[in-house]
């Protein structure tokens, strides 16, 4: 079934609200891998950076507005990127890009916030993870009707963009199903997820290095602080009779935590676009025996599947999209509900680090995500547009 009626895609204009889609650090690496994979399939990609920081004056106004919104008005939602002036400026950029790239077959937005329907007859495709409507209802557990006017207006904007789009692609199966119930658009698809890996794992070397130590990896920025703190408490208990255990935290510096047990290394953010940081990042993936992130409701999905790709068993919160993707029973690890407590988490970590089935679990982890390549994803993406 064709979402747009096109027989072949030769040229795509990609609008990226999160930043420069040619840079690896933009939005968890997704725009970089997506556009590179499209080019590898012979599609000409026109990159349009919609992020405020791509213009100095725009960046300054962006920073000042957020200071006023959060510091003076105490409104954490009504940031600059949700104001009318922001959308007006960004839409000017979009119209300019339409004139610059008149031969594009489709206009692809890596968000749910914009459309070109008012200025172009070219098909519009939206690609992202979740909507603000979903975030409000599922993650925050709030009633949409209880929200402020600004929040409801933003949700309505996304609704109009999604319902008018020729095709919507969501990264997660459960969220895509929810969107099909919420929005009046028959062309909302889930076509799989992806592993954002710049390197390929060597099975024999990975298994050998992982067996040699008892190193644990946590990946997550400040949004995952609760999961990191729970892990630190469990790790402190673990080291009482397993002093050789070591914990690496990527995404947060040591200053984020009040007390760090011995053998904990906080690496901060590791930019894959920086050769030295990239080397540290992939060295950790290749040698850490276990990946853990038990943050409630969302446990760093992208980092989890990349760790699995490198033969790393996992302990994660049984949040909806991980269960929807991999099932209720994990042959490559364990679920841990954050409500079950630190003691049980410590027991699970100990069991995983000393398991005689490590190779079996490691192979299962890799196998579960082996087909989640960007090449496979883009092939399925392009199939959506064939007659």
Could you read off the pLDDT of 268-285 as tens digits, one per residue? 999 999 999 999 999 999
Q: How far apart are CA 18 and CA 5, in angstroms?
A: 29
Could you confirm whether domain 11-194+373-383 is CATH 3.40.50.11540?
no
Mean pLDDT score, 191-209: 98
Packed helices 374-383 and 30-40: angle between N→C axes, nearest 10 degrees: 70
Q: Which of 364, 307, 27, 327 is nearest to 171 (CA)?
A: 27
339 — phi, psi (to 5°)? -75, -10
Task: Write the CA distances from 196 to 302, 303, 320, 373, integer angstroms.
Answer: 7, 8, 21, 8
The DSSP secondary structure of 24-88, one letter per residue, reads TTGGGGHHHHHHHHHHHTT-EEEEEE--GGGSHHHHHHHHHHHHIIIIIS--SSS-GGGSHHHHH
Q: Residue 385: phi, psi to the nearest 5? A: -105, 5
Please report which confidence band the pLDDT of residue 147 belongs to, taking 50, 70 and 90 as the band edges: confident
**pLDDT, position 28:** 92
What the block records as the tokens of 366 is: 């890799």
Of 29-38, 51-60, 233-242, least confident by mean pLDDT is 51-60
CB 17 within 8 A of CB 114: yes
pLDDT value, residue 1:
41
Per-residue pLDDT, 5: 62
Please report the pLDDT score of residue 246 as a whole number. 98
**Fold exhibited by the domain 203-369:** Rossmann fold (3.40.50)
Instruction: Please give the Cα distance from 386 to 369 (Å, whole number).
Output: 27
Tell me whether the CATH fold assigned to 11-194+373-383 matches the one assigned to 203-369.
Answer: yes
Among 81-90, 99-108, 136-145, 357-366, the minimum mean pLDDT is found in: 81-90
Look at 195 and 56; give whichever has higher pLDDT: 195
- Domain spans in the chain, listed from the N-terminal domain onward: 11-194+373-383, 203-369
Q: Tokens for 232, please give them.
A: 């630190």
Which helix or strand (DSSP H or E) is residue 225 part of? helix 225-238
- Taking residue 136's Cβ as centre, other Cβ atoms within 10 Å add up to 19
pLDDT at 7 over 90: no
Which of these, 148, 316, 141, lies nearest to 216 by C-alpha position?
Answer: 316
**Assigned token pair, 212:** 């040699």
pLDDT band at 82 (very low <50, low <70, confident <90, very high): confident
pLDDT at 81 over 80: no
Percent of all residues in the chain with a pLDDT value above 70, rounded to a whole number: 93
Rounded (10°) angle between helices 203-212 and 358-369 = 140
d(CA 192, CA 315): 22
Q: Identify whether the C-beta of residue 201 lies closer than 8 Å to the C-beta of residue 281.
A: no
Residue 205: other Cβ atoms inside 10 A: 12
Report yes or no: 158 and 133 within 8 Å, Cβ to Cβ: yes
DSSP H or E stretch at residue 234:
helix 225-238
For residue 376, the model assigns a pLDDT of 98
The token duo for 123 is 């098909």
Is residue 296 within 8 A of residue 319, CB to CB? The reply is yes
pLDDT class of 79 with cuts at 50, 70, 90 = confident
**104: Cα separation from own chain's centroid:** 27
Q: Distance between CA 170 and CA 173 in Å, rounded?
A: 7
* Nearest to 122, CA basis, from 95, 147, 148, 145: 95
- Residues 25-55: tens digit of each pLDDT: 999 999 999 999 999 999 999 999 998 876 7
Neighbouring C-beta atoms of residue 68, cutoff 10 Å: 12
Q: What is the pLDDT of residues 303-328, one digit of tens each?
A: 999 999 999 999 999 999 999 999 99
3-7, 279-283, 285-289: lowest mean pLDDT where?
A: 3-7
Residues in the chain: 387
Given a contact cutoff of 8 angstroms between Cβ atoms, the answer to whether 343 and 237 are in contact is yes
**Nearest by Cα to 93 from 135, 127, 130, 46:** 46
Q: How confident is the model at residue 66 (pLDDT cuts 50, 70, 90)?
A: low
């Amino acid at each position: 079934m064709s979402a747009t009626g096109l027989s072949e895609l030769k040229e795509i204009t990609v609008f990226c609200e999160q930043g420069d889609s040619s840079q690896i650090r933009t939005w968890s690496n997704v725009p970089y891998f997506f556009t590179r994979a499209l080019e590898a399939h012979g599609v000409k990609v026109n990159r349009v950076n919609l992020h405020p920081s791509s213009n100095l004056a725009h960046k300054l106004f962006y920073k000042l507005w957020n200071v006023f919104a959060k510091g003076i008005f105490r409104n954490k939602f009504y940031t600059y990127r949700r104001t009318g002036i922001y959308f007006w400026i960004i839409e000017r950029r979009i119209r300019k890009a339409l004139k610059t790239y008149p031969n594009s077959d489709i206009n692809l937005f890596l968000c749910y916030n914009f459309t070109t329907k008012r200025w172009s007859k070219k098909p519009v495709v939206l690609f992202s993870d979740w909507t603000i409507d979903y975030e409000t209802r599922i993650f925050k557990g709030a009633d949409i009707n209880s929200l402020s006017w600004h929040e409801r207006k933003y949700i309505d904007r996304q609704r109009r963009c999604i319902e008018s789009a020729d095709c919507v692609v969501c990264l997660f199966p459960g969220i895509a199903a929810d969107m099909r119930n919420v929005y009046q658009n028959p062309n909302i698809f889930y076509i799989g997820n992806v592993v954002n890996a710049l390197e390929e794992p060597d099975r024999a070397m990975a298994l050998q290095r992982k067996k040699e130590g008892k190193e644990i990896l946590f990946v997550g920025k400040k949004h995952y602080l609760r999961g990191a703190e729970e892990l630190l408490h469990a790790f402190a208990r673990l080291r009482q009779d397993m002093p050789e255990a070591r914990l690496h935290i990527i995404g947060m510096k040591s200053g984020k935590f009040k007390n760090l047990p011995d053998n904990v290394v906080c690496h901060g953010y590791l930019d894959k676009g920086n050769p030295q940081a990239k080397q540290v990042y992939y060295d950790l993936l290749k040698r850490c025996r276990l990946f853990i992130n038990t943050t409630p409701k969302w446990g760093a999905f992208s980092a989890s599947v990349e760790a699995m790709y490198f033969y790393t068993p996992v302990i994660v919160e049984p949040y909806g999209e991980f269960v929807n993707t991999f099932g209720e029973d994990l042959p490559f690890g364990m679920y841990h509900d954050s409500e079950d407590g630190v003691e049980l988490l410590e027991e699970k970590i100990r069991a995983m680090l000393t398991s005689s089935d490590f190779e079996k679990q490691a192979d299962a982890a890799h196998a579960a995500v082996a087909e989640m390549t960007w090449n496979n994803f883009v092939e399925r993406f392009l199939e959506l547009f064939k007659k």
